[in-house]
């Protein structure tokens, strides 16, 4: 019996829509519309903790004027501040900004490398979200909902588009997966488990359980799998359950994953030049190495790669701390964009950089918490950037008020961002739905508008 | 007709008033007749013109709406319906089930129960034939897995296969239903619905203790608690008359929601979110209704308005969420032992006082000891540094929490703070001063069993029982209007005290003294922070700038801002005032001792004297090590475990429930009172509108839904899909039942059978339908691939937890302890890492091999192997699990440490019984995993595999020690164990091993 015909073998890791997924009792039909896709893959550089837009992208020279003054109460009226007091003082940023590239994008001194790819970027200085605590905001960024149990954006994308990889999961998460929002950030919610974000380690065996147990060599593993197949096949001939066929091919694919995974992780295969461009060490795990790995995954057909980096929650010494983490991030992010471009992958690959919220223009000083010259969580206006995959390169959109507190031009809500990402992948965010518990759910809940200014 | 209208029209012409287009409403007859439908005259009816129109401006559903146009067949259905009068019938599930007549079929001869007749009548119609009965080996494994979640032992299989008695199967079923493992298996069903977890979720995701509730479920299922009682106790057990501890523990059902403990959060918002979740869970679990849709707007399809949603919310909005100490006789015994020992040692203190001159006195010389004690005690009494302060306890007149916490005055005039748990708070308490002179105040923070970790604070984040005092402020506000004072006024008017804020110049504390000055420094960012001193009394003293004089009856308002993070506010406290001149450095003495010290020594009674000496003995430096021992003993007193419960708030503290515009927390609108949706049965007449009434309403015999919904969930557990395949949605948008009469029959059976789950399950597994073979004839695979018509038995991959249990049972490793705290089976270290440094520390000993049910459910990072096998993340109520089939599952099963340990244990087990015959050993191993005997070719495949591995072990290309470990008598035995380990690992990876066939 031709097993592959019994089950869409090639897509076991990221079942294509309209493939009847065995045993799934929920209706499972992606309603991807007929938009022309601009991107095929996504690399989401998730900066967990809330990077300070004021030290990175949102240049506010006017803030110098107000430095040390109490924030006007009308500015913050109706908004919540988790840690700081309502009479907190505004704090100017001592960071200098330079214009980069032909587009003249303003990027701070913290990100010199990123400046070198400014003409590839679309910087959004007016992102808004609905939550001001880490876990809810991270879950909102990923799932579009504050309520729990909804699928992550990576799951939605693989649900809508399936995967081109035979050997690898469709949605891979690299880096620090132990984020505030926990596994809910990468969870498939009510979508079938095949759409779950699969965490990859950046060293050694990438996937959980991918290594043979002690004493089991490849020959024994192969012999075991052959014998399992022999016995399962006999049972299939007796009971005719297609699930057995699916299991047989799943076991075969697990072996392929076991053999292909080590090769995938071999960063030493990359040229010295490439490694140097990222600042990656082929042996020591690093954010740079993960960015490089993200490219290798995309090359191998993985649909959605997320690189997660914690450490952006700068309640204290915001300037020093942003400087420190930027040194870890800047070169690798710029290298990723360049590398994708050089290899002709940037057109098909959408790169997104950002965190769950930004930081207040007001200072956070709190002796009891040991905090000095930090910034608090700020959901009203923060910055992200996108590149590749149908993005209008060399643009900056969105404007905030003099204090950087409120958006005054081109607000981009998280739902708008999500709608735009789906749009670039050829999906209408209102049509990509999944019926669960009596309701058609979508990533963008009941909101979201494609941000046309971001489209090429 | 209704499903068609619902699907195509209700989005714009349904119950939701706000999104209704052109004022046309098609979900009620009245609405339809008002402009859309002319009964008896389809041609004149606008609806027909619209659905048949090709004009994009007229056509319905409109192009681009995402709704398909009606097919010709659908249009003719619609015409026919209008022709016949456009009668609206209530949606089927809203009409109460009635016991249907049992149909006959061609297969009636083989039928054993009504279930068979219902299912086979349908098969008959479809021209299908029931499958033959399942092989007995298969059947016992199927029913044992279904009823206990474990595979049968080989002995049980053989006994059943060889039991020729006509009631052999019945006996088997009854044995399984009576086994303690039954409750564990079915608890899994309920835990998914209840979104049970052992951690709080969100960023902090701290571990919580609520396993007592899980054990309550196991027990309730094992004793076959009637489902109505099961429901009432879980929803409102705390409100039953004379509620027992077990009934309170049961209310943990709705405490399985997430708790946000991230610093700087808005507590009320997340409480609101948890009530939203409770409404959703209640309606999904018991009503099969998607009430959540009506949180933001009127339901688009079902007749539930937004107002009705919030009215239901009101029932669940009035509970406090305390911890509950779960009494345990073993712990209590230990506590009593310790208490007795402590009392004994305290009583023996005087006799342990050292003698005057140890060198010259014998250890038995009590006289010398007594004398010495007397001398020292007298010296202490006269020591000027012990200067007592005359503290007068103040009686609070009113107390208020800015964060809406509940303030209750206790008999000792302390205030206990319970209820809402705001992130930060500020208390205002009004007292009256009746002593003329004030030099200072003493705030006493008291421990209490009702507070986290015994308090005295309410903080429950990395420092349970912690609190802060940001500022301590006293304002003189005026004179009390007391009658006694008023009458005095008539003769001699009292001077009104000046309204003022008192100035404090010194603050002292019995604990963290270096921080107490923060509470009078006027800085709202600095605090007296009590962490680490949980369960103890702490005292702070605030000394005024010189003595202040006030007329009797002066009213003061004490304000205590507590402005830190993590709900670190005072839980129980009282206030004293003094006129004793400063310095007022506090002493650790209880007030009663100070009062005795203040007494004229001549006036002290003998009892006073004893109290003073007892106190002295507790602090005498001579007894320091003796007293330390007593303290250590007291500290070793074990506490009962806690669990989360509901406690209904008092009428005076009742929360108001608002409608929220678009469901948004920050947009409260009209206040509503508790009520149930009008489309369903009414509340019992005259019953109070509270949670208990709601609980009873859910299982009221008039409820058309609950029995159907629960019967359907049980059916789904056995057959993989419900009779209503959308087991979470019985509304208009839900799937119609595949066997409507069967469902109603089951529902009536359940209700009339005393709500016994076990009898309904017994009915199901006793049926011939259930006992059919699950083989799939190719013809049937085409006609009914999903087995909707049940022309064969179920063949389904088992749940994640059961996969583990099968491996442990087959290997003999399984530890069958029922209940207790959750455990941590081993998993790769990186799988257990979550935010905040939580480490998954693998259990050792027996807890390593407990059933999957007991695996710690970590919200931020679920146990990896279970997540891989579709165990839902415990976020929200899950009515049905996915059943995927992926390469990652293959990797988990091949390489998970649990499977490896089980493989080794299985090899040991087999070789113990069959040390000399590979064939017998392999056959045994096969049966441990699959119950049935292997076929010849299956056995051959395995024996050949074994032979190849043994060969390689012997020629050294495989390392036995690496595979098995080094615990064997000799090399030969080690090789045999290693070879059998590879066989066992293979067996645990067969499709059939993890399948209920």
* Distances B750 to A152, B218, B709, B755 between C-alpha atoms, Å: 39, 20, 11, 5
Element (H, E) at A154: helix A153-161
- Chain B residues whose beta carbon lies within 8 Å of the beta carbon of residue A20: 785
- What pLDDT is recorded for position B590? 85
The shortest C-alpha distance from A230 to chain B (Å) reads 8
Nearest CA in chain B to A432: B66
- What pLDDT is recorded for position B499? 84
Residue B834 confidence class, pLDDT cut points 50, 70, 90: confident
- What pLDDT is recorded for position A164? 84
Average pLDDT of the segment spanning B809-831? 94
The shortest C-alpha distance from A412 to chain B (Å) reads 20
* Distances B346 to B152, B174, B337, B351 between C-alpha atoms, Å: 57, 57, 14, 10
Residue B364 confidence class, pLDDT cut points 50, 70, 90: low
**Residue scoring higher pLDDT (A178 or B98):** B98
Residue B835 confidence class, pLDDT cut points 50, 70, 90: confident
Q: Is the pLDDT assigned to residue A166 strictly greater than 90?
A: no
Of the candidates B264, B896, B991, the beta carbon closest to that of A232 is on B991
Nearest CA in chain A to B277: A147
Q: For B880-897, what is each residue's pLDDT tens digit?
A: 888 888 899 999 999 999
- What pLDDT is recorded for position B23? 81
Burial (0-12, 13-18, 19+ Cβ within 10 Å), B645: buried
- Chain B residues whose beta carbon lies within 8 Å of the beta carbon of residue A230: 941
User: CA B696 to CA B232: how far, in whole Å?
Assistant: 6
Partner-chain contact B262 A207, CB within 8 Å? no
Alpha helices, H only, A21-117: 63-66, 73-76, 112-115
Residues 6+ apart with CB under 8 A from B353: B369, B370, B372, B373, B376, B617, B620, B622, B623
Q: Six-digit token pair at A192?
A: 């079938």
| ipTM rounded to 2 decimals | 0.90
Partner-chain contact A223 B721, CB within 8 Å? no
Partner-chain contact B835 A216, CB within 8 Å? no
User: CA B161 to CA A321: how far, in whole Å?
Assistant: 71
Partner-chain contact A182 B720, CB within 8 Å? no
- What pLDDT is recorded for position B668? 95
Q: For B333-363, what is each residue's pLDDT tens digit?
A: 999 999 999 999 999 999 999 887 766 656 5
Alpha helices, H only, A314-455: 318-342, 414-424
User: CA A373 to CA A319: how far, in whole Å?
Assistant: 8
- What pLDDT is recorded for position A27? 28
B interface test, pick of A30, A135, A226 with most B CB neighbours within 10 Å: A135
Partner-chain contact B524 A224, CB within 8 Å? no
Residue A6 confidence class, pLDDT cut points 50, 70, 90: very low
- What pLDDT is recorded for position B17? 79
Of the candidates B264, B284, B795, the beta carbon closest to that of A241 is on B795
Please give the mean pLDDT across all residues of chain B.
Answer: 92
- What pLDDT is recorded for position B585? 85
Residue B463 confidence class, pLDDT cut points 50, 70, 90: low
Average pLDDT of the segment spanning B278-301? 92
Nearest CA in chain A to B666: A78
User: CA B159 to CA B168: how far, in whole Å?
Assistant: 9
The shortest C-alpha distance from B399 to chain A (Å) reads 25
Partner-chain contact B891 A227, CB within 8 Å? no
Of the candidates A177, A235, A439, the beta carbon closest to that of B991 is on A235
Partner-chain contact B891 A207, CB within 8 Å? yes
User: CA B731 to CA B93: how far, in whole Å?
Assistant: 7
Partner-chain contact A196 B260, CB within 8 Å? no
Q: Six-digit token pair at A163?
A: 């995967």
Partner-chain contact B729 A198, CB within 8 Å? no
User: CA B48 to CA B81: how far, in whole Å?
Assistant: 11
- What pLDDT is recorded for position B495? 67
User: CA A433 to CA A422: how far, in whole Å?
Assistant: 12
Q: Is the pLDDT assigned to residue B757 strictly greater than 70?
A: yes
Q: Are B553 and B479 in contact (CB under 8 A)?
A: yes
- What pLDDT is recorded for position A16? 41
The total number of residues written for chain A in this structure: 456
Average pLDDT of the segment spanning B780-789? 91
Of the candidates A24, A133, A254, the beta carbon closest to that of B891 is on A254
Partner-chain contact B890 A253, CB within 8 Å? yes
- What pLDDT is recorded for position A4? 30
- What pLDDT is recorded for position B803? 98
Average pLDDT of the segment spanning A134-153? 93
- Chain A residues whose beta carbon lies within 8 Å of the beta carbon of residue B728: 437-438
Residue B153 confidence class, pLDDT cut points 50, 70, 90: very high
Q: For B939-970, what is each residue's pLDDT tens digit?
A: 999 999 999 999 999 999 999 999 998 777 78
Q: Six-digit token pair at B120?
A: 């086979």
Q: For B502-523, what is each residue's pLDDT tens digit?
A: 999 999 998 888 899 999 999 9
Partner-chain contact A216 B781, CB within 8 Å? no
Average pLDDT of the segment spanning B230-253? 98
Q: How many CB pairs under 8 A join A and B?
A: 282
Residues 6+ apart with CB under 8 A from A394: A101, A102, A103, A105, A118, A119, A120, A121, A122
The shortest C-alpha distance from B950 to chain A (Å) reads 11
The total number of residues written for chain B in this structure: 997
- Chain B residues whose beta carbon lies within 8 Å of the beta carbon of residue A223: 945, 948-949
Residues 6+ apart with CB under 8 A from B844: none
Partner-chain contact B564 A254, CB within 8 Å? no
Average pLDDT of the segment spanning A24-52? 73
The shortest C-alpha distance from B93 to chain A (Å) reads 14
User: CA B224 to CA A192: how far, in whole Å?
Assistant: 34
The shortest C-alpha distance from B297 to chain A (Å) reads 12
The shortest C-alpha distance from B852 to chain A (Å) reads 19
Please give the mean pLDDT across all residues of chain A.
Answer: 89
Q: For A283-314, what is each residue's pLDDT tens digit?
A: 888 999 999 999 999 999 999 999 999 999 99
Residue B384 confidence class, pLDDT cut points 50, 70, 90: confident
Q: Is the pLDDT assigned to residue B494 strictly greater than 70?
A: no
Helix axes B887-895, B897-913, angle to 10 degrees: 50
Q: For B686-737, what is each residue's pLDDT tens digit?
A: 999 999 999 999 999 999 999 999 999 999 999 999 999 999 999 988 899 9
The shortest C-alpha distance from B843 to chain A (Å) reads 19
- What pLDDT is recorded for position B446? 96
Q: For B683-695, what is each residue's pLDDT tens digit?
A: 999 999 999 999 9
The shortest C-alpha distance from B721 to chain A (Å) reads 7
Average pLDDT of the segment spanning B40-68? 84
- Chain B residues whose beta carbon lies within 8 Å of the beta carbon of residue A376: 264
Partner-chain contact B991 A244, CB within 8 Å? yes
Partner-chain contact B991 A243, CB within 8 Å? yes
Partner-chain contact B891 A209, CB within 8 Å? yes
β B995-996/A349-354 pair status? unpaired
**Residue scoring higher pLDDT (B314 or A18):** B314
Residues 6+ apart with CB under 8 A from B60: B8, B9, B47, B50, B51, B53
- What pLDDT is recorded for position A102? 96
- What pLDDT is recorded for position B54? 84
């Amino acid at each position: 019996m031709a097993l592959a015909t019994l089950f869409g073998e090639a897509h076991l890791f990221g079942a294509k829509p309209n493939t009847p997924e065995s045993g799934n009792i929920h209706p499972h039909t992606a309603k991807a519309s007929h938009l022309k896709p601009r991107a095929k893959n996504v690399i989401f550089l998730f900066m967990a903790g809330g990077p300070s837009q004021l030290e990175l992208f949102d240049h506010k020279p006017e803030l110098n004027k107000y430095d040390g003054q109490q924030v006007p109460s009308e500015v913050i009226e109706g908004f919540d501040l988790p840690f700081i007091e309502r009479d907190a003082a505004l704090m100017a940023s001592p960071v200098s900004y330079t214009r980069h590239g032909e587009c003249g994008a303003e990027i701070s001194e913290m990100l010199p490398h990123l400046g070198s790819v400014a003409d590839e970027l679309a910087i959004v200085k007016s992102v808004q979200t609905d939550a001001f605590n880490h876990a809810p905001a991270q879950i909102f960024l990923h799932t579009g909902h504050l309520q729990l149990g909804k699928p992550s954006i990576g799951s939605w994308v693989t649900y809508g588009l399936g995967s081109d990889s035979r050997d690898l999961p469709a949605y891979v998460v690299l880096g620090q997966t132990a984020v505030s929002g926990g596994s809910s950030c990468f969870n498939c919610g009510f979508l079938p488990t095949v759409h779950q974000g699969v965490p990859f380690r950046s060293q050694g065996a990438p996937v959980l359980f991918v290594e043979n147990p002690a004493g089991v060599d490849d020959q024994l593993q192969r012999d075991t799998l052959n014998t399992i197949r022999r016995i399962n096949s006999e049972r299939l001939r007796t009971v005719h359950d297609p699930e057995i066929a699916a299991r047989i091919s799943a076991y075969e694919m697990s072996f392929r994953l076991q053999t292909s995974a080590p090769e995938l992780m071999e960063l030493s295969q990359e040229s010295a030049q490439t490694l140097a461009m990222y600042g990656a060490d082929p042996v020591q795990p690093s954010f740079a190495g993960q960015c490089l790995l993200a490219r290798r995954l995309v090359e191998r057909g993985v649909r959605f790669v997320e690189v997660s980096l914690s450490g952006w929650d700068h309640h204290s010494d915001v300037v020093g701390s942003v400087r420190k983490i930027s040194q870890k991030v800047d070169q690798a992010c710029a290298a990723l964009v360049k590398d994708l471009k050089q290899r002709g992958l940037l057109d098909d690959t959408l790169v997104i950089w950002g965190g769950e919220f930004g930081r207040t223009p007001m200072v956070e000083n709190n002796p009891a918490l040991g905090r000095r010259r930090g910034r608090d969580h700020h959901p009203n206006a923060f910055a992200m950037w996108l590149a590749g995959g149908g993005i209008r390169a060399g643009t900056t959109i969105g404007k905030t008020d003099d204090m950087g507190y409120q958006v005054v031009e081109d607000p981009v809500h998280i739902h708008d961002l999500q709608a735009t990402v789906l749009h670039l992948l050829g999906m209408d965010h209102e049509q990509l739905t999944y019926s669960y518990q009596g309701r058609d759910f979508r990533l963008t809940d009941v909101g979201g508008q494609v941000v046309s200014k971001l489209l090429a | 007709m209704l499903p068609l209208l619902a699907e195509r029209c209700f989005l714009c012409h349904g119950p939701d008033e706000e999104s209704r287009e052109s004022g046309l409403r098609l979900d009620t007859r009245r609405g339809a007749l008002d402009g859309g439908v002319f009964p008896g005259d389809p041609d004149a009816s606008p609806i027909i013109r619209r659905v048949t129109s090709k004009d994009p401006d007229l056509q319905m559903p409109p192009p681009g709406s995402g709704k398909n146009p009606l097919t010709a067949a659908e249009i003719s259905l619609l015409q026919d319906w209008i022709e016949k009068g456009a009668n609206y019938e209530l949606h089927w599930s809203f009409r109460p089930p009635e016991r249907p007549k049992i149909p006959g079929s061609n297969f009636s001869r083989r039928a054993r129960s009504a279930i068979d007749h219902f299912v086979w009548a349908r098969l008959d119609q479809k021209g299908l034939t029931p499958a033959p009965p399942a092989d007995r080996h298969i059947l016992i494994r199927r029913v044992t897995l279904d009823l206990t979640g474990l595979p049968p032992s080989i002995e049980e299989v053989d006994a059943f296969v060889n039991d020729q008695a006509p009631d052999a199967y019945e006996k088997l079923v009854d044995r399984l239903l009576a086994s303690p493992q039954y409750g564990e298996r079915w608890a899994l069903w309920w835990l998914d619905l209840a979104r049970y977890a052992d951690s709080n979720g969100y960023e902090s995701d701290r571990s919580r203790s609520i396993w007592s509730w899980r054990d309550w479920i196991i027990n309730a299922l094992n004793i076959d608690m009637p489902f109505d009682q099961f429901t009432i106790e879980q929803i409102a057990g705390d409100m039953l008359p004379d509620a027992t501890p077990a009934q309170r523990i049961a209310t943990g059902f709705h405490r399985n929601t997430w708790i946000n403990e991230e610093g700087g959060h808005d507590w009320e918002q997340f409480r609101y979110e948890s009530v939203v979740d409770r409404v959703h869970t209640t309606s999904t679990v018991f009503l099969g209704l998607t009430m959540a849709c009506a949180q933001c707007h009127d339901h688009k399809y079902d007749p539930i308005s937004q107002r009705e949603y919030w009215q239901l919310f009101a029932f669940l909005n009035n509970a406090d969420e305390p911890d509950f100490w779960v009494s345990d006789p073993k712990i209590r015994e230990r506590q009593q032992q310790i208490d007795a020992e402590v009392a004994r040692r305290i009583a023996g203190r005087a006799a342990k006082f050292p003698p005057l001159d140890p060198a010259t006195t014998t250890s038995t010389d009590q006289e010398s000891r007594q004398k010495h004690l007397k001398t020292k005690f007298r010296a202490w009494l006269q020591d000027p540094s012990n200067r007592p302060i005359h503290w007068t306890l103040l009686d609070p007149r009113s107390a208020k929490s800015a964060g809406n916490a509940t303030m209750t005055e206790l008999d000792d005039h302390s205030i206990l703070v319970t209820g809402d748990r705001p992130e930060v708070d500020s208390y205002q308490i009004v007292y009256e001063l009746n002593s003329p002179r004030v030099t200072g105040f003493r705030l006493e923070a008291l421990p209490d069993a009702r507070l986290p970790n015994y308090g005295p604070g309410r903080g429950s984040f990395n420092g349970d029982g912690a609190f802060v005092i940001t500022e301590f402020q006293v304002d003189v506000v005026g004179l009390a209007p007391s009658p006694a004072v008023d009458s005095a006024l008539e003769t001699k008017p009292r001077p009104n005290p000046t309204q003022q804020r008192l100035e404090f110049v010194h603050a002292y504390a019995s604990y963290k003294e270096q921080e107490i000055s923060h509470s009078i420094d006027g800085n709202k960012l600095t605090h007296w922070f009590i962490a680490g001193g949980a369960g103890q009394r702490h005292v702070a003293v605030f000394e005024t700038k010189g003595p202040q004089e006030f007329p009797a009856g002066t009213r003061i308002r004490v304000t205590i801002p507590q402005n830190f993070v993590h709900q670190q506010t005072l839980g129980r406290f009282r206030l004293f005032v003094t006129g004793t001149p400063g310095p007022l450095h506090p002493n650790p003495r209880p007030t009663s001792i100070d009062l005795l010290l203040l007494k004229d020594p001549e006036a002290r009674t003998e009892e006073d004297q004893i109290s003073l000496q007892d106190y002295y003995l507790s602090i005498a430096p001579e007894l320091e090590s003796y007293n330390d021992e007593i303290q250590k003993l007291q500290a070793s007193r074990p506490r009962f475990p806690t669990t989360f419960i509901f406690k209904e708030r008092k009428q005076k503290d009742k929360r108001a429930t608002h409608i929220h515009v678009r469901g948004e927390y920050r947009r409260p609108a009209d206040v509503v009172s508790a009520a149930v949706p009008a489309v369903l049965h009414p509340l019992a007449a005259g019953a109070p509108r509270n949670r208990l009434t709601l609980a009873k309403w859910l299982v009221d015999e008039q409820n058309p839904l609950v029995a159907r919904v629960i019967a359907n969930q049980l059916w789904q557990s056995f057959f993989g899909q419900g009779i209503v395949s959308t087991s979470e949605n019985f509304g208009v948008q839900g799937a119609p039942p595949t066997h409507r009469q069967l469902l109603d029959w089951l529902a009536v059976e359940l209700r009339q059978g005393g709500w016994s789950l076990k009898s309904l399950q017994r009915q199901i597994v006793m049926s011939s339908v259930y006992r059919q073979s699950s083989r799939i004839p190719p013809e049937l695979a085409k006609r009914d691939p999903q087995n909707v018509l049940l022309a064969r038995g179920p063949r389904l991959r088992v749940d994640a937890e059961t996969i583990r249990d099968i491996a442990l049972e087959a290997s003999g490793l399984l530890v069958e302890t029922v209940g207790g705290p959750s455990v941590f089976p081993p998993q790769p270290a990186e799988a257990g890492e979550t935010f905040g440094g939580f480490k998954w520390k693998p259990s050792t000993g027996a807890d390593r091999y407990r059933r999957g049910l007991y695996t710690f459910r970590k919200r931020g990072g679920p146990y990896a192997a279970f997540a891989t096998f579709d165990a839902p993340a415990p976020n929200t109520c899950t009515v049905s699990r996915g059943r995927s089939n992926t390469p990652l599952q293959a990797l988990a099963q091949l390489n998970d440490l649990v499977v490896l340990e089980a493989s080794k244990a299985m090899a040991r087990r087999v070789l113990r019984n069959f040390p000399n015959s590979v064939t017998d050993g392999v056959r045994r191993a096969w049966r441990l995993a699959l119950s049935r005997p292997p076929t010849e070719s299956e056995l051959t495949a395995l024996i050949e595999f074994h032979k190849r591995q043994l060969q390689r072990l012997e020629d050294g290309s495989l390392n036995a020690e690496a595979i098995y470990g080094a615990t064997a008598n000799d090399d030969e035995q080690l090789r045999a164990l290693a070879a059998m380990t590879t066989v066992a690992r293979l067996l645990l990876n067969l499709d059939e091993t993890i399948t209920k066939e």
